[in-house]
Amino acid sequence: MIGIMLKISLTLFALAIVISLYRIIRGPSIPDRVIAMDMIGVNLISAIAAISILLNTKAYLEVILILGILAFISTIALSKFIERGVIIEHKRDR
């Protein structure tokens, strides 16, 4: 039963990724795309969690954690890039 549930949820996650991909490709403004990218990351976290339950392994827990951090960092980096044009600023008083 749980196997079927997990497979259905996986399929839904994949569909969500495809939909966010559409937003990235189409997506009239850059922030739209960045949000879509963030959404893909979150969906990936959930999908990997579902897969690791399905495969009955703990090996992917680190992947989930890392992905959580990275999705955050990349979203921040992209936002900064959009806002300022740079992601690492120089100190002014140099």
Report if residue 67 touches other proteins, rule: CB under 8 A: yes
- The span from the CA of 26 to the CA of 20, in Å, is 10
Q: Is the Cβ–Cβ distance between 71 and 30 less than 8 Å? A: no
* Binding positions for other proteins, 19-48, rule CB under 8 A: 21, 24-25, 30, 33-34, 36-37, 40-41, 44, 47-48
81 lies in the site for other proteins, by CB under 8 A: yes
CA-CA distance, 37 to 30, in Å (whole number)?
11
Nearby residues of 63 by Cβ (< 8 Å), 6 or more positions away? 48
Nearest residue (CB) to other proteins, 1 versus 90? 90
For other proteins, the closer of residues 1 and 48 by Cβ is: 48
- 88 is a site residue for other proteins (CB under 8 A): yes
